[in-house]
Structures are given as C-alpha cells and as structure tokens.
Amino acid sequence: MPAVPFNCSSLQGNELAYIRETIAIGQIAGDQAFSKKCQALLEGTLGVPHALVTTSCTHSLEMAALLLDIQPGDEVIVPSFTFVSTANAFVLRGARPVFCDVRPDTLNLDETKLEARLTPRTKAILPVHYAGVGCEMDAINALAARHGIAVVEDNAHGLFGKYRGRWLGTLGALATQSFHETKNITCGEGGALLINDVRYAGRAEIIREKGTNRARFFRGQVDKYSWVDLGSSYVMSDVLAAFLFAQLEAWPAIQARRRDIWQNYHGQLADWARAQGVTQPTVPAHCEQAWHMYYLLLPSLAARTALLTHLKARGILAVFHYLPLHLSAYARRWGGRPGDCPVTERVSDCLLRLPFFNSMTTDQQAKVIASVLEFQVPA
C-alpha cells in the first residue's frame, strides 16, 4: 500500500456492535431493523417521502429505469462525464443514451445544451452532481417539466449537499445514492433509491422485491404474495445495513472532517495553482457541496501524467477520473465522435483527484500538499 492511498475505508465506531446486534436478533436478510433505521434516517434528515436501501447505486438506477417504464428506443440524456452505470442502467432496458457535455466550471451536465438533445423519444434526464456540487436543477427541472420528461438525480457524490438550500437527492422525481467504499458514507457495496414523486412508491417496493408484493404481505395488506410486476433482487442485507447505519448516524462528523480536508487542500494549493496554470474546483455560491472529492485541472494531459508520476514516486496515489462515455468501446454503436463533448474530452485528460478519505491524517495530507507544491508544470 502506498504511504498515502487514494482512498481507505474506516470505521466510525458502532459498525461491529450493530452487526453483532443484527446477528443476535437472528434476522440478517433485508428490510430488518437496521435497514429501517437507515431509511428512517434518510427520510427524516432529507425530508424525502420514501427511501429504500438497495444493493448499489447501479441497482437503484436500474430500478429507476424500470419505474419509468423505459422501452426499447426510448432516449435518456446523460452527461458524457459520468460513471458507466448512469447510462448502462437505462441501456439494459433498451434505451439509447444521448450524451451531453458538461459545464467547464462545475463539470456538471450543461443545462444550456439539453434542449438541443431533446427528441419526442426523450424519457429522462440524469443530472449527476459531480464531486457533490449541485447541477443547475432549476433550469433542468423547468425544461423537463415543459416537455413532460422525468428527472432522476444520480446523487452518488452528493449526499448531504444542497442546491439553493434544498438537499441534493430531493430535486428529481427519483434520486440514487451510493454507499460504495469510495463514497463519503459506505458499507462496502450498497445504495439507496430516494422517491420524491410518491406515485413511484408502490411499484418501487415491488421491483426491489423480485417483482413480488412481498412487502405488502409482510405488512399484512395481502394474505399471500405473488409475482405482480418486473423486478429483481435489490434488497440490502441487514448486516450491511447495520454497518451503514453506524456510518449514517455519524454523517455530521464525517462531513465536517471532509470539509476540513477539502478546505485545507483548497487554501494551501491556491497560490501554487495560480502560478502553475492549474484550475481548482468551482463551487457556485448557491451550492453547499457534499465534500466528496478534491480535484485539480492540469493544463494538459502531459502535465497531468507528470503530476501523477511525481506523486507516485513519493508514495502518494492520485488518480484520474471518468473517460468520456460517448467515446467508449461500447458507445461506438451510437456513433459518438471526438469533438461531440469537448469539455468532457478535455477534463477527462486533465483532471487529477488527490487522496481524500474520512480517516486521512493531517500528516498524510501535509505530505500530499508538500509534494504537490514541489511540482512544476513542465513548460
């Protein structure tokens, strides 16, 4: 392991005790005590009508595609600068992903480029709050409402961030969360579906339970359960929910620690960045970010490669991020070309993420900062 890894998971304190508790109760399948506690915490904190914990953000996105009844030939607009799952979950239902470029400042879906990508087949828009900074949701929601299109927030980075005073994840009809190891709050692999439009609530619990009405059966609302819709196995085990609840309960402390790490990077690297022609992240005044990552935009691919190598030589693992989806091997079938999403293409070459995790020590961060400050962008 490098002296400073890029990411490293850590305990908040109660994880193992809660896991022991759920095992002692004797019920470790899904929808047991800790799953309900996680859901109640998300619902209560964010003020969402329904939160369902799931096996991953990817699976929550698949649930969203099923809930929206996506059919072969339907189109969904996704940023080209995102994780594969944002698009793949809809492609599994036969949709065609329409890739949109991102804004050069926040690296979020460029709302000014959406209208040109609408067709009569457009069924959904998927804003991704990159690095936990909110997309321009007022503009996106207004456009979607005018055209009768659903908005699904891929909020994998944005839990506990806000846009104009409103929680990210509460702004689309549906929103998806990730509790993957690399996210602020984790149980290794896990996710949640936030349901803001309550019309989706009934089908969501069926889709999540293999297409059955088992949830209604457990509540005594039907006397047997059976196959009533499409679905799959998207329920989180209560062992993972126990781990997750210990992390979720500690969210204010986790977010405060991450804010300190982020602000320390931002402040200490500011003069160096200006002198070297390196761009630091932009956070608009109306966005309270979720402190998910710290990235730098180097002036070129060569400069980015040089800084990655420089840090690696000092035992520090920095990493790049998404490759443009419209140019991926699988997306070739939809005819993506270089130049279609110029901001995505440039950012993909030039972005570098610094080590950032909840248990990162001040010594580790000092080492990263000192090593970056030693680096000169090659002429």
Ligand X SMILES: *Cc1c(COP(=O)(O)O)cnc(C)c1O
Under the binding rule (CB under 6 A), the answer on residue 57 touching ligand X is yes
The pairing of strands 351-353 and 295-297 is antiparallel
Give the x-and-dash track for 6-45 against ligand X (CB under 6 A): ----------------------------------------
Q: Minimum distance between the CB of residue 89 and ligand X, rounded to whole angstroms?
A: 9
Under the binding rule (CB under 6 A), the answer on residue 169 touching ligand X is no
- Toward ligand X, which CB reaches closer, 244 or 269? 244
Token pair, residue 196, equals 């803001």
Candidates 35, 141, 178, 212; binder of ligand X (CB under 6 A) is: 178
- Toward ligand X, which CB reaches closer, 86 or 348? 86
Candidates 109, 124, 128, 341; binder of ligand X (CB under 6 A) is: 128
Phi/psi at 374 (5° precision) = -75, -15
Q: Minimum distance between the CB of residue 181 and ligand X, rounded to whole angstroms?
A: 9
What's the sign of the alpha-carbon dihedral 172, 178, 184, 186? positive
Considering only the stretches 51-59, 217-225, 294-302, 340-348, report the one whose residues sit in contact with ligand X under the rule CB under 6 A.
Answer: 51-59
Q: Minimum distance between the CB of residue 362 and ligand X, rounded to whole angstroms?
A: 27
Q: Minimum distance between the CB of residue 29 and ligand X, rounded to whole angstroms?
A: 20
Candidates 180, 304, 326, 353; binder of ligand X (CB under 6 A) is: 180
In angstroms, the CA 105 to CA 126 distance is 19
In angstroms, the CA 175 to CA 57 distance is 9
Considering only the stretches 53-61, 141-149, 163-171, 237-245, report the one whose residues sit in contact with ligand X under the rule CB under 6 A.
Answer: 53-61
Q: Minimum distance between the CB of residue 117 and ligand X, rounded to whole angstroms?
A: 19
CA angle 110, 328, 176 (to 5 degrees): 55
Under the binding rule (CB under 6 A), the answer on residue 214 touching ligand X is no
Q: Minimum distance between the CB of residue 3 and ligand X, rounded to whole angstroms?
A: 25
Residue 367 · residue 316 · CB < 8 Å:
yes
Counting Cα atoms < 13 Å in the Cβ hemisphere of 279 gives 15
Nearest of 173, 79, 67, 186 to residue 135 by alpha carbon: 79
Binding residues for ligand X, rule CB under 6 A, total 14
Measured between alpha carbons, how far apart are the two ends of the chain, in Å? 32
In angstroms, the CA 76 to CA 124 distance is 5
Under the binding rule (CB under 6 A), the answer on residue 56 touching ligand X is yes
Under the binding rule (CB under 6 A), the answer on residue 83 touching ligand X is yes
Q: Residue 115: CB partners within 8 Å, gap ≥ 6? A: 143
Phi/psi at 186 (5° precision) = -145, 155
Under the binding rule (CB under 6 A), the answer on residue 353 touching ligand X is no
Under the binding rule (CB under 6 A), the answer on residue 82 touching ligand X is yes
Under the binding rule (CB under 6 A), the answer on residue 157 touching ligand X is yes
Under the binding rule (CB under 6 A), the answer on residue 54 touching ligand X is no
Under the binding rule (CB under 6 A), the answer on residue 154 touching ligand X is yes
Nearest of 117, 168, 33 to residue 336 by alpha carbon: 117
Candidates 58, 170, 279, 289; binder of ligand X (CB under 6 A) is: 58
Considering only the stretches 50-58, 104-112, 163-171, 312-320, report the one whose residues sit in contact with ligand X under the rule CB under 6 A.
Answer: 50-58
In Å, how far are 93, 120, 121, 143 from 117, measured between CA atoms? 20, 10, 11, 12
In Å, how far are 69, 94, 99, 158 from 11, measured between CA atoms? 39, 40, 38, 21
Q: Minimum distance between the CB of residue 82 and ligand X, rounded to whole angstroms?
A: 5
Token pair, residue 206, equals 């069926």
In Å, how far are 41, 248, 267 from 48, measured between CA atoms? 10, 16, 35
Under the binding rule (CB under 6 A), the answer on residue 85 touching ligand X is yes
Q: Scanning residues 269 to 328, which ones bind ligand X (CB under 6 A)?
A: none
Q: Minimum distance between the CB of residue 179 and ligand X, rounded to whole angstroms?
A: 7
Under the binding rule (CB under 6 A), the answer on residue 208 touching ligand X is no
Phi/psi at 357 (5° precision) = -155, 160
Candidates 191, 211, 281, 324; binder of ligand X (CB under 6 A) is: 191
Residues forming the site for ligand X (CB under 6 A): 56-58, 82-83, 85-86, 128, 154, 156-157, 178, 180, 191
